[in-house]
Amino acid sequence: MPELPEVEITRRGLAAHLTGLSIKDAVIRNGSLRWPIPKNLAKLLRGQTIRSLKRRAKYLLMDCGNGTLILHLGMSGSLRILPANTSPEKHDHFDLVLGNGTLMRLRDPRRFGAVLWHSGDVHAHPLLASLGPEPLENDFDARYLHQATRGRSVSIKQCIMDNHIVVGVGNIYANEALFRAGIKPQLAAGKLSLPRCSKLVEEIRATLAEAIQLGGSTLRDFVNTSGQPGYFQQNYWVYGRAGEPCRRCGAPIKQIKQGQRSSFYCGTCQK
Ligand SMILES: [Zn+2]
């Protein structure tokens, strides 16, 4: 599943190709994504110019002048820039046809992605309005995390994966950041001291920033016809390594379930 680093890499890769281009058309082949693609989208978009491509949490926000196209990659979505005459394949559900002879194509086999339209302030959209701060922005800091977790008996891992507290920290990065911060995932959030909140914020930022950097070097190009989705694999400290030796101390990595998600941790390195 694309997590925040993949979405940010996608944003950077696409923004370079899309910004300033005019939109000729929008083609909906299968509008049954997580929410239906608005049927009047082509009418809204024709003749508009793409002013910018931004990101909020895992939503890509394409400013089209008269409104914002909101894109989400869901579980399996990928976006590519292709020559306008490229034949669509089975899971190519949506195209944005551009004024320079290319198109932006959404491929999404599992159809949990989204293509939505919002004509007002996009940050007031119901999907975006109640989101917490961005993990890589300055308003996500130790003091904020400390305050947000006071009195909470829920685990710290579930807290940092809660979009109302901080956005974009998916299961992989939550596991990895907690290992790097030396914090066991099941610790009650309210028990985390201010210095440990500071360490956790630092490691969440570092984990995501390193993944973005790695993705930037791995995924050179969104302009290709190979159909490869833009996801990348990393060498994880704990994620997916149950039973294998901890890379720091050699103890076997443990696996537990928290809120339907797998948590991986080292019982020696994480307290
Ligand atoms: Zn260890």
- Rounded distance, CA 115 to CA 122, Å? 14
Could you confirm whether 58 is annotated as catalytic? yes
Kindly report, residue by residue over 250-269, the tens digit of the pLDDT.
999 999 999 999 999 999 99
Could you confirm whether 195 is annotated as catalytic? no
As a whole number, the mean pLDDT across the chain is 93
- Rounded distance, CA 9 to CA 29, Å? 26
Could you confirm whether 202 is annotated as catalytic? no
Phi and psi angles of residue 77, each rounded to the nearest 5 degrees, phi first? -80, 150
- Let me know: does 239 contact 213? Beta carbons within 8 Å: no
**How many angstroms does the Cα of residue 249 sit away from the middle of ligand 1?**
4
- Whole-model pTM: value is 0.91
What pLDDT was estimated at residue 218?
58
Kindly report, residue by residue over 176-220, the tens digit of the pLDDT.
999 999 999 999 999 999 999 999 999 999 999 998 888 766 554
- Let me know: does 132 contact 169? Beta carbons within 8 Å: no
The arithmetic mean of pLDDT across residues 144-157, rounded, is 98
Query: The sheet that has 78-83: what strands, in order across it?
Result: 23-28, 92-98, 102-107, 78-83
Kindly report, residue by residue over 77-132, the tens digit of the pLDDT.
999 999 999 999 999 999 999 999 999 999 999 999 999 999 999 999 999 999 99
> Would you say the C-alpha torsion 159, 160, 166, 167 has a positive or negative sign?
negative
The residue annotated as part of the active site, out of 3, 8, 176, 203, is 3
Could you confirm whether 2 is annotated as catalytic? yes
